[in-house]
Chains A and B, each alone.
Chain A
Amino acid sequence: MSKKDGITWETFADGLWRDNPVLVMLLGLCPTLAVSNSAINSLSMGLATTFVLISSGALISLLRRFIPRQVRIATYIVIIATFVTMVDYTIQAISLDLYNALGAFIQLIVVNCIILGRAEAYASKNPLGKTVVNALGMGTGFTLALFTLGAIREILGAGSLFGVDLFGPSFEPWVVMILPPGGFIVLSLMLLAFNFINARAGRKIEQSEGCSHAA
């Protein structure tokens, strides 16, 4: 922790719980729900998004004095799209199975509101070190939420975790959980649990609807 940048534990930890991008800000729900039908898919999606979040945040933070205000959104989008293209080709090279499972959703990281939202709200105003730490926190928070959702859906819907059978042959899989409705329902229950815990802790969290944070 360096004093100069004012990096504190909160810079990192805000993204984990208090400002969790999925559970509090409700950003980036589309990839969250679409690829969370198994633990491995959601984990790799989370990591890919974290990489784009950190690298685009770092570049935008470095360039923040040179980007004219009027065209900043377009500039951010082009920077983000460049990193996403890199991730897209990398995943294709590492594992074709994973690439096919995630489908167009890797390329759709471009329009994930978390990334543009952080670029606009944080990276464009803060120095490099702080931005990277914050992006790491946000990415970890996103990955954790995504992984929890994916793991719950895979355990209930297929009776396995990371493809390893958990309950033996007598378990009747709850197939609806890995189908689209399951995504909505499990995330809704996660939000309920999250709100419940926060209500117990006596904290009030203002939940925003949709991506209004991004702009």
Chain B
Amino acid sequence: MQPDSLIFIFLNAALMNNFVLALFLGLCPFLGVSGKLETAVPMGLATSFVMLVSSLCAYVINLILVRYDIEFLRLIAYIAVIASAVQLVEMTMKKYTPGLFRSLGIFLPLITTNCAILGLALFQTFKHYDFFQSVVYALGAGAGFTLAIALMAGLREKLDLSDVPGIAKGAALSLMLGGLLSLSFMGFAGLGGAH
């Protein structure tokens, strides 16, 4: 596969360099909202949507920044765009799916500080992706994030039924699960080489 072909970019972001399990981005919702499958999947989809919107905006903003030679403002400009995109998703959800809005709770506005999204915008800038590559990259990252958080939620639903020592309950156990998931995702590295 060509390293800059669209299908490679998609698979790379979704599997080989999965944003959560290989690049450690977006761990907060990955650990925080992965208790139940029915909240994990919508969270993944909401994050994917914000990723897509902010990736498009970041692409346009970067063009403007480069045009006027003010790249040092990049970080501030990106974060402002992401915050607005999250606000948009929040308002849409509140209007059309109020039940879901309540169950995601504080984690919805916190998508703003989800490093997966800022990371995506920064990576696509560093890699000099063009418009279509950026879109595909965002879709792949979103798919990878949703996959990871859904897998994690499925595993944790099963774990709720098992008896674990007191000190291992909660975060320690979730992280160990994350480690095992990450280990199995390393198998995908053979698809086309890491990075």
Contacts and interface: CB of A to CB of B under 8 A. Distances in A.
A29 B27 contact: yes
B56 interface: no
B159 to A, nearest CB: 14
19 contacts: A30-B115, A73-B83, A74-B80, A81-B75, A88-B75, A108-B25, A108-B118, A111-B112, A111-B118, A112-B113, A180-B24, A180-B182, A184-B176, A188-B178, A192-B168, A195-B167, A209-B31, A210-B29, A211-B110
Interface of B: 21-33, 35, 72, 75-76, 79-80, 83, 106-107, 109-110, 112-115, 118-119, 122-123, 126, 166-168, 170-176, 178-180, 182-183, 186
B148 to A, nearest CB: 12
A192 B33 CA distance: 21
A157 B150 CA distance: 30
B32 A210 contact: yes
Contact of B170 (A88, A89, A111, A209): A209
A199 B166 contact: yes
Contacts of B113: 111-113, 116, 211, 214
A209 B168 CA distance: 14
A34 interface: yes
Complex A-B, nearest 7 residue pairs according to Cβ-Cβ distance, in ascending order? A210-B32, A184-B179, A188-B175, A34-B24, A185-B179, A211-B28, A195-B167
Given A110-B118, A181-B179, A74 B83 contact: yes
Contact of A196 (B114, B118, B167, B183): B167
A113 B28 contact: yes
A78 B21 CA distance: 29
A189 B30 CA distance: 19
A33 B24 contact: yes
A185 B76 CA distance: 34
B167 A30 contact: no
Contacts of B179: 181-185, 188
Contacts, number: 141
B110 A214 contact: yes
B115 A210 contact: no
A138 B114 CA distance: 21
A187 interface: yes
A45 interface: no
Given A210-B29, A212-B107, 4 more contacts: A191-B171, A210-B32, A211-B113, A215-B109
Nearest to B126: A104
Interface in A61-107: 73-74, 77-78, 81-82, 84-85, 88-89, 104, 107
A212 B32 contact: yes
Nearest to A86: B72
Contact of B122 (A26, A81, A104): A104
Interface in A30-71: 30-31, 33-34
B114 to A, nearest CB: 7
A183 B181 CA distance: 12
B27 to A, nearest CB: 4
A207 B171 contact: yes
A179 interface: yes
Contacts of A31: 24, 115
A108 B119 contact: yes
A176 interface: yes
A107 B175 contact: no
A81 B76 contact: yes
B106 A107 contact: no
